[in-house]
Structure 1
């Protein structure tokens, strides 16, 4: 799969290997600031990823030593502001609801919508020199790309207000202490670390992981009763796949399980168990 952007080189690069899809923001001369065409194209890539069962994990990263400096406001665009925000909303929902586990690999800057793009991923790996800023207030803007929903849930309301109202720039260590970075890894080791992490996610039970991700996302706004009901429904689906029996068999055989997510119930009309 390959995504192309405007100009001689593709603005979004997509590479698949061993069940892991890596999407690279590829405008290093602008610290990977995103044009509106790129935001929309990335939403399409995420939509396609969610429908592709061969993709078991997704890594989102940036080229040239930066993650993403947000939206490129220097590129003229005649779209109505509400149309632009619909593009943002579509992308934020695609990322949040993607059944595939996602990892943001952050080097250099992650600013504004670029930082919220990373926060929308399930896990964040950053180098020690990575810096983060909810820069919107400095641009006369308020939060977008889901930041108003993500930040209070991740760091609490007061810290979210501090990060956004003051538009402070923080380093990777501070971000990790706030729970906004999962791991800090040296620049020379981050590629190998992230590849191993993505491979571990890709080797997991895809249906169970997708449901766990959804349960956690939904659980943030659910009552205990609603969360328990969701867990019961999810486990019923898990037991209908080949992965739960495979896990037990692998444990008994002292081997590594081979998860596929395959449906194990007989098809309708097969005559079995009728």
Structure 2
């Protein structure tokens, strides 16, 4: 399926979602952003989809929001010419309320959807992932990067405040000090350094990228989907929960999982000393 610059292929339990705007280095305009959200919503609702592989066409993963003006409204509003200095709270031509609502319904909603997705997600990053594009990758459970790929917190280079949930994600993934280093200095972070910092879990050649990332997605798609989803929710919440709340959440997740057919299969397979055959329910 192809819609508004987003390609979706479902095979053997894996939904491979490709941002297909190589002429814009896979920058997302309003249409492609909304199509990506729709593809994620469809993958969540489809019981036959048990993992998602997110990637970009060509030599980039996603260069962020499309600010060209040719593809509709972008997540970061711009004016046709630089606004003159003004003592007013917002420069002429920019409605601060509209900016707030655009972020909440656009990039924030998109990244949050990935972060809270209840099935395993893998990002295959072939090239630059900048701004919102970097956060798209980092909101996935596992990040596979090609040699030479880069994560770029580009906001300070444009005079922008970090957005698209970056201020939430980065301190949780790499700590406050390194998060400030990335945001304030706005330097590129290469694949090997991303691996060293824990922002990527695997670095491979460009040629092998989709095979390596696809293998992980296939492996996850063969797993106990409900248990994996509940486990990732517990891990995500643990970053901001008290011990008491974390233990309560854990007990509730374990109880929810007791009705899972995959739990029964896992127990029977263990007793019969054979590999389990999970069905995702």
Q: Same fold (TM over 0.5)?
A: yes
Pairing 1:84–2:102 present: yes
Task: Look up the match of 2:172.
Answer: 153
- Quick one: which of 51, 66, 84 aligns to 1:57? 51
Could you tell me whether the CA contact under 8 Å between 2:191 and 2:203 is conserved in 1?
Answer: yes
Task: Look up the match of 1:207.
Answer: 226
Give the C-alpha shift of residue 240 in structure 1: 1.6
Task: Look up the match of 2:65.
Answer: 71
Number of residues of Structure 1 aligned to a counterpart in Structure 2: 256
Give the C-alpha shift of residue 245 in structure 1: 2.0
Give the C-alpha shift of residue 50 in structure 1: 1.4
CA-based RMSD: 1.4
Structure 1 residue runs of 4 or more that deviate by more than 6 Å after TM superposition: none
- Quick one: which of 92, 102, 106 aligns to 2:125? 106
Pairing 1:221–2:221 present: no
Task: Look up the match of 2:31.
Answer: 37
Q: Summarize deviations over 1:213-259 as a string: whole Å, max 9, x none.
A: 11011111101111111111111122221222211221232322111
Could you tell me whether the CA contact under 8 Å between 2:20 and 2:26 is conserved in 1?
Answer: yes
Task: Look up the match of 1:3.
Answer: 2
Instruction: Measure the CA separation in 1 of the matches of 2:19 and 2:44.
Output: 19
Moved more, 107-116 or 87-96: 87-96
Could you tell me whether the CA contact under 8 Å between 2:8 and 2:15 is conserved in 1?
Answer: yes
Pairing 1:117–2:117 present: no
Query: TM (normalized to structure 2)?
Result: 0.87
Q: What runs of 5+ residues in structure 1 fail to find an aligned partner?
A: 6-10, 263-274
Instruction: Measure the CA separation in 1 of the matches of 2:280 and 2:61.
Output: 32
- Where relative contact order (Cα < 8 A, 6+ residues apart) is larger, the structure is 2
Give the C-alpha shift of residue 261 in structure 1: 4.0
Could you tell me whether the CA contact under 8 Å between 1:36 and 1:84 is conserved in 2?
Answer: no
Moved more, 16-25 or 192-201: 192-201
Q: What runs of 5+ residues in structure 2 fail to find an aligned partner?
A: 78-97
Summarize the alignment of residues 128-207 of structure 1 with structure 2, pairs less than 5 Å apart: 128-207=147-226
Give the C-alpha shift of residue 3 in structure 1: 3.5
Moved more, 102-111 or 28-37: 28-37
Give the C-alpha shift of residue 91 in structure 1: 1.0
Instruction: Measure the CA separation in 1 of the matches of 2:157 and 2:225.
Output: 41
Query: TM (normalized to structure 1)?
Result: 0.90
Could you tell me whether the CA contact under 8 Å between 2:55 and 2:125 is conserved in 1?
Answer: yes
Could you tell me whether the CA contact under 8 Å between 2:50 and 2:280 is conserved in 1?
Answer: no
Tell me, what secondary structure is at the counterpart of 1:174?
A: helix
Instruction: Measure the CA separation in 2 of the matches of 1:97 and 1:48.
Output: 15
Task: Look up the match of 2:9.
Answer: 15
